[in-house]
């Protein structure tokens, strides 16, 4: 039976990744770790035996002890302070909770000589300062990180390469574009919109929503497609290689908001909060998924409209349940 | 009177940088910080008022408190675990003592809104995996870091740019090539050679020296020239810009050893220690100093032969003094 260590276990990507593993036809043992207990509904059932341990990955000794004991076959490293906005407010904490925690993890694998495959999740933010002519972004595009978060992700990726080439670790790297889906926390932009619209629909908020810069364009991909890609990369990705995970299409935040507005049948004013505008931002990011499509056979299956509808439904339910508590 | 904060104060670069400041014709206040008391001979005299404080830059609170109180006009950040070899043995510690300490420093400047100019020292190692056709390296050459140390330096540099562009800090960056000179610790290769030859010359070691890969080619520059460049950059470098500090010439370790052998008039066998061969190494690194030459007016004045002679004399004296203690 294969053993998976999944970090960031209380996050929404872990939730969906476990759902993905539950579709496989063999038994899997999972040790989920994160700083806080997951409040999402994840439990042992079907082919999955799941345990959870609370751990702070910034603590080298804790993670070293854990790996020495658990010796996983796969490490799916989902732990991250992944908000660009948060990283501008707390650059040191963001850096520690991205680069340093990853470094502690791979160093423990090296020290204890654990023969395992590691999935290192990176971000489209690594590409940074991009001109129109450079789109769509391919894995060989230059990296010009613009935010503390983006720097942290590039650092993580460079360190992965050193550990593969210099120490022989087995690490597959992604640059995951903006993934969206149910169970994401509402300090991210799409769930923040969805939650506000749900409140308006249910008469719990005045018909006004607060937004940042709506003109920025991102390549959105549904988290259910993302975790499928992660699983396929673990199975057949090439060690030391980097893979874009994206849809090949760009949509503005304004586009997303309009899809959501139409689906929820709400009407509202828009107020711009300058605190939500970041010091520096990439106006347009669109990726190419040609590499992962050709090498691994992955392509996204859920389009933006479907994805946004799922998210809207999810938040309407969350808001309803909270209101009735 | 201008206030300088100099980190890495117990290192050999700080020693030479203070000598450089002592040549200026105005009074300067210096606060030197490092983890250990400097054992080099640095004291208040002439135009310099020097204080020292022991501090661990990994401790965010310590450095924050210090900066809040001292509010320097200039920060010359020389603290670094700058050994590539050491970084392969202790990648986490190396990363912490390069990237994280720098990040703590600039974050404290940001938090306390200190209007100061910061010199961020980087390394030629950042260029990494270089082909012959890419030489000499210019500041726009791609970065392909090969070692944990190199990754740490690239991370530091990327974060510098984010703090300049995103938060408006005033940071000048260098990529300093292999600087050599007196007072450097003998865990670096050139002083290690010089010390061994001094021991042989004085009859304190069998005529055999232990080396790593002698064929690697580096662009060596005397530390006295390096600190002159640092001072000139602080005076007239451009914030947010990166400057190579190098000689434009490559010499193999074998070349250096031959100059040293001729000067000290010693003869010896050479033994290769495979522990001194690194997992990955750049075989040849030569830089172009055109940018700093044109923009700041700096060029190196001490050639390799003179530099190696100074180092040989220094180590003969050190070994003599130790032997007579």
The pLDDT score that the predictor gives to residue A62 is 95
Q: Point out the residue among B99, B150, B166 whose CB comes nearest to the CB of A279.
A: B166
Across the interface, whether the CB atoms of B60 and A92 are under 8 A apart is answered yes
Q: Which residues of A touch B155 (CB under 8 A)?
A: 99, 151, 154-155, 158
Q: Residue range A245-255: average pLDDT?
A: 97
Q: Point out the residue among B145, B146, B279 whose CB comes nearest to the CB of A167.
A: B279
Separation of first and last alpha carbons in chain B: 41
* Beta-carbon contacts of residue A315 (< 8 Å; ≥ 6 apart): A191, A194, A195, A197, A198
The encoded tokens of residue B259 equal 């100059």
Q: How far is CA B294 from CA B139, B244, B287, B288, B297, in A?
A: 13, 12, 15, 11, 6
d(CA B217, CA B252): 4
d(CA A101, CA A90): 16
* Beta-carbon contacts of residue B47 (< 8 Å; ≥ 6 apart): B21, B22, B24, B25, B26, B27, B28
Q: Residue range A81-106: average pLDDT?
A: 95
d(CA B130, CA A299): 35
Q: Residue range A87-112: average pLDDT?
A: 97
Q: Which residues of A touch B84 (CB under 8 A)?
A: none
* Beta-carbon contacts of residue A275 (< 8 Å; ≥ 6 apart): none
To the nearest whole Å, the CA of A142 is away from the closest chain B CA by: 9
d(CA B183, CA B314): 8
Q: Which residues of B touch A98 (CB under 8 A)?
A: none
What residues does A75 pair with on adjacent strands? A5, A118
**Does any CB of chain A come closer than 8 Å to the CB of residue B64?**
no
d(CA B81, CA B84): 9
Across the interface, whether the CB atoms of A146 and B155 are under 8 A apart is answered no
Per residue of chain B (325 residues), what is the pLDDT tens digit? 999 999 999 999 999 999 999 999 999 999 999 998 877 677 888 899 999 999 999 999 999 999 999 999 999 999 999 889 899 999 999 999 999 999 999 999 999 999 999 999 999 999 998 899 999 999 999 999 999 999 999 999 999 999 999 999 999 999 999 999 999 999 889 999 999 999 999 999 999 998 888 999 999 999 999 999 999 999 999 999 999 999 999 999 999 999 999 999 999 999 988 877 766 778 899 999 999 999 999 999 999 999 999 999 999 999 999 877 6
Across the interface, whether the CB atoms of B92 and A60 are under 8 A apart is answered yes
Across the interface, whether the CB atoms of B146 and A162 are under 8 A apart is answered yes
The encoded tokens of residue A229 equal 């890609």
Q: Residue range A105-133: average pLDDT?
A: 96
Q: Point out the residue among B92, B146, B158 whose CB comes nearest to the CB of A151.
A: B158
**Does any CB of chain A come closer than 8 Å to the CB of residue B148?**
yes
- pLDDT tens string B17-51: 999 999 999 999 999 999 988 776 778 888 999 99
Closest CA to A84 of A230, A233, A253, A277: A277
Separation of first and last alpha carbons in chain A: 41
Cβ atoms < 10 Å from Cβ of B324: 6
The pLDDT score that the predictor gives to residue B298 is 98
Which B residues 263-292 touch A at CB under 8 Å? 279-280
- The stretches of B144-252 forming alpha helices (DSSP H) are 148-167, 189-201, 223-236
Q: Point out the residue among A100, A167, A280 whose CB comes nearest to the CB of B165.
A: A280
ipTM of the complex: 0.93
- pLDDT tens string A18-44: 999 999 999 999 999 999 887 767 788
Distance of CA B268 to the CA centre of its chain: 30
The pLDDT score that the predictor gives to residue B325 is 66
- pLDDT tens string A203-225: 999 999 988 889 999 999 999 99
Q: Residue range A6-11: average pLDDT?
A: 96
- pLDDT tens string A258-306: 999 999 999 999 998 887 776 677 889 999 999 999 999 999 999 999 9
């Amino acid at each position: 039976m294969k053993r998976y260590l999944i970090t960031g276990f209380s996050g929404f990507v872990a939730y969906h990744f476990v759902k993905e593993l539950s579709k496989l036809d063999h038994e899997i043992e999972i040790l989920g770790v994160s700083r806080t207990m997951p409040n999402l509904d994840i439990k042992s059932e079907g082919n999955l035996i799941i345990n959870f341990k609370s751990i702070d990955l910034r603590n080298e000794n804790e993670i070293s002890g854990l790996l020495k004991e658990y010796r996983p076959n796969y490490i799916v490293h989902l732990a991250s302070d992944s908000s660009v906005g948060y990283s501008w407010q707390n650059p040191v904490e963001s850096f520690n909770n991205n680069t340093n925690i990853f470094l502690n993890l791979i160093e423990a694998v090296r020290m204890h000589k654990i023969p395992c495959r590691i999935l290192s999740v990176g971000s489209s933010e690594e590409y940074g300062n991009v001109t129109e002519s450079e789109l769509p972004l391919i894995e060989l595009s230059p990296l010009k990180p613009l935010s503390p978060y983006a720097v942290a992700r590039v650092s993580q990726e460079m360190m992965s390469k050193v550990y593969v080439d210099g120490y022989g670790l087995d690490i597959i790297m992604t640059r995951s574009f903006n993934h969206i889906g149910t169970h994401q926390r509402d300090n991210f932009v799409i769930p923040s919109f969805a939650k506000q619209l749900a409140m308006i629909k249910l008469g719990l908020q005045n018909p006004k929503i607060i937004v940042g810069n709506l003109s920025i364009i991102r390549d959105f991909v549904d988290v259910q497609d993302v975790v499928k890609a992660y699983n396929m990369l673990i199975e057949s990705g090439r060690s030391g290689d980097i893979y874009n995970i994206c849809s090949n299409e760009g949509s503005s935040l304004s586009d997303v908001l309009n899809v959501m507005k139409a689906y929820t049948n709400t009407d509202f004013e828009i107020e711009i909060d300058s605190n939500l505008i970041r010091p520096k931002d990439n106006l347009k990011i669109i990726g190419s998924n040609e590499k992962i499509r050709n090498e691994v056979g992955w392509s996204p299956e859920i389009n933006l409209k479907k994805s946004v509808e799922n998210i809207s439904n999810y938040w309407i339910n969350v808001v309803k349940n909270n209101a009735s508590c």
